[in-house]
Amino acid sequence: METNVLKESVIDSAGAVLSRFDGPAVTGLRVLAIVIVAWIAIGVLQRSIRAFRMRIASRLDDREAVKRAETLGRVFRYLVAVIVSLIAGMLVLGELGVSVAPILGAAGVVGVAVGFGAQSLVKDYFTGFFLLLENQIRQGDVVKVADHAGLVEEITLRYIRLRDYDGNVHFIPNGEVNTVVNMSRGFAQSVIDVGVAYRENVDEVMQVMRDVGQEMRLDPAFAGRILDDLEMAGVDSWGDSAVIIRCRFKCMPLEQWTVRREYLRRLKNTFDAKGIEIPYPHLTVYAGQDKDGGAPELPLRLHRARKQALNASA
């Protein structure tokens, strides 16, 4: 009998202790469950978007469309994470006893106040939305924006991340993008200016340039990079010491720099083999004329000691 009474008293004491922690414990479990469900939902949705993007990309033959699908996939995954996190945050506040209704009611007033203080941030998101909607920039493009140029590694509604040729990474807020120069769309033109001496026959030089261009296009290593024959613009200008001849190749996107370097290398070797002079800047000294039209002797003075010093140092 005494044993039963002791058991009942222990059970009553344990129930009283647990009843004290019932509210906080349940609330904590609910908050933990919300966080776990939100984390799982973000992972599942992002995986679904990635799988859907890969499925679409596998059916596309256009390289440009594939790049756009990759860019939009990144943006949608980012939006999913933000939206699910906001919903989970409001549910957690509700479980903690914080009324969400006044917060939502004051959102308009707070939004106006924040809008005045964060105009640049709002501009970043609006500009980023239209950059993606109008397909101006995609991941993998080479662009020039806000005085920075490089490969687009990431584009979001907030910023563009570029990596330049030196490996430096530039983060550019979308609000600072006024003009976009995209060097990766459709095709590219590799413009080449070649300087030759004034004594050279420009017609012969241009024919040599065409021959080198044709030889390069027949090379299997560059046949897929060059889309058309060399386009000869002709004599572009008269420089101080050279005649400038301009030409260009129509190339695949992002191949214009490789084509230009290889063409200049081959053209230099061909000019050397044919004796075509590539001039360097020089200066002609003119002593002037007198009233009778005669040219006076150019006064030169060479100090022997200086000449000996120069020979010794050589």
Q: ∠ CA(187), CA(193), CA(196), 5° rounding?
A: 155
pLDDT at residue 208, rounded to an integer: 94
- As a residue count, the chain comes to 314
Question: Taking a C-beta distance cutoff of 8 angstroms, is the pair 158, 124 a contact?
Answer: yes
Q: Give the CA distances from residue 244 to residues 73, 161, 258, 284, in Å, rounded to whole numbers and listed in that order.
A: 47, 38, 21, 20
Tell me how crowded residue 190 is: count the other CB atoms within 10 A of its CB. 21
Reported pTM: 0.61
Question: Mean of the pLDDT values across residues 4-32?
Answer: 61
- How many helices (H) and strands (E) would you count in the chain? 10, 8
pLDDT value of residue 147 = 87
Q: Taking residues 201-213, report their average pLDDT.
A: 94
Confidence check: pLDDT of 5 > 60: no
Which one, of 229, 227, 223, 237, lies nearest residue 210 by Cα? 229
Q: Which of 15-24, 61-70, 199-208 has the lowest mean pLDDT?
A: 15-24
Sign of CA dihedral 71, 72, 77, 78: positive
Those residues with Cβ within 8 angstroms of residue 186's Cβ, 6 or more apart along the chain or in another chain: 64, 253
Helix (H) or strand (E) holding 48: helix 22-58
Distance CA 189, CA 183 (A): 9
Highest averaged pLDDT of the listed ranges 4-13, 56-65, 187-196: 187-196
The average pLDDT across 217-221 equals: 91
Alpha carbons within 13 angstroms on the beta-carbon side of residue 227 total: 13
Give the mean model confidence (pLDDT) for residues 57-64: 70
- When pLDDT is cut at 50, 70 and 90, the band that residue 78 belongs to is confident
- Compute the radius of gyration of the chain from its Cα atoms: 36
- Is the pLDDT score of 14 beyond 60? no
Is residue 263 within 8 A of residue 192, CB to CB? The reply is: yes
Assess contact for 157 and 78: CB atoms under 8 A.
yes
pLDDT one-digit tens code per residue, 231-283 = 999 999 998 889 999 999 999 988 999 999 999 999 999 999 999 998 887 77
Please give the pLDDT value at position 18.
46
- C-alpha distances out from residue 181 to 147, 156, 158, 235, 301, Å: 10, 18, 19, 28, 56
Determine the pLDDT at residue 137. 85
Overall average pLDDT of the 73-78 stretch: 80
Q: Cα separation of 131 and 135, whole Å?
A: 6
> What type of residue is 20?
R
- CB of 171 closer than 8 Å to CB of 136: no
| Range picked from 55-59, 85-89, 113-117, 168-172 for highest mean pLDDT | 168-172
Separation CA 24–CA 268 (nearest Å): 81
Tens of pLDDT along 138-170? 888 899 998 899 999 888 888 899 999 899 999
